[in-house]
Amino acid sequence: MKHVPTFIAGILAAGVIGTAAIGDGHADKATLSAVKARQSLMSLQAFNIGLLGGMAKGDVEYDAAAASAAAGNLAALATMDQSRMWPPGSDNATLGDDVTEALPAIWSADSKIGADAMALAEATAALQAAAGEGLDALRGAIGPVGKACGSCHETYRQAKN
């Protein structure tokens, strides 16, 4: 989890190094690249949690090696340094809901996104250890990962209409 503090620091310090969106409602290229990067990261998370969720629900046959690999990917993704992926001005109020669902609250002074990121890193590390140890172990460890995903999404993601 060594990158998590960097992630938090990155969010907080982003005002210094971040590339802000241009004020006329159009985002600059660097901002859109950052949005694309974090969306790519979440797409990879969804791809891996999707398999594990399918196994946990019984929709996909449990396979220890595949479960372990997917959980290992989630753990690796959770430790990635995301500081450049969340520049100020990359929220949905600035860029529009069609570009990003990231709410401005992410960048607020009392943002809990660092704690959410840490919870996800801890939950995925536990899932990585458990996923290959049988279906019951997988089922026991996947809940906290889903909870970490949901906690962040409920607070910091624009709800779908």
Q: Which amino acid is at 60?
A: V
C-beta atoms surrounding 121 within 10 Å = 22
Mutual angle of helices 113-130 and 3-17, in 10-degree steps? 150
The answer to whether residues 104 and 157 touch, using CB atoms and an 8 Å cutoff, is: no
| Of residues 1 and 105, the one with the C-beta less far from a second copy | 1
In order of 37, 51, 134, the CA distances from 97 in angstroms are 17, 28, 40
Tell whether residue 64 is a contact of a second copy (CB under 8 A). no
In order of 81, 123, 130, 158, the CA distances from 61 in angstroms are 33, 23, 17, 34
**Nearest CA-CA partner of 85 in 25, 145, 45:** 45
Q: How many residues bind a second copy (CB under 8 A)?
A: 30
| Of residues 32 and 105, the one with the C-beta less far from a second copy | 32
CA dist 158 and 98 (Å) reads 11
| Of residues 76 and 93, the one with the C-beta less far from a second copy | 76
| Of residues 39 and 155, the one with the C-beta less far from a second copy | 39
Using CB under 8 A as the binding rule, the residues of this chain from 84 to 123 that contact a second copy are 84-85
| Of residues 37 and 105, the one with the C-beta less far from a second copy | 37
Using CB under 8 A, which of the segments 83-91, 100-108, 124-132, 144-152 binds a second copy? 83-91
Using CB under 8 A as the binding rule, the residues of this chain from 9 to 48 that contact a second copy are 17, 33-34, 36-37, 39-41, 43-44, 47
Tell whether residue 153 is a contact of a second copy (CB under 8 A). no
Q: Which residues bind to a second copy, rule: CB under 8 A?
A: 3, 6, 17, 33-34, 36-37, 39-41, 43-44, 47, 50-51, 63, 65-66, 69-70, 72-73, 76-77, 79-81, 83-85
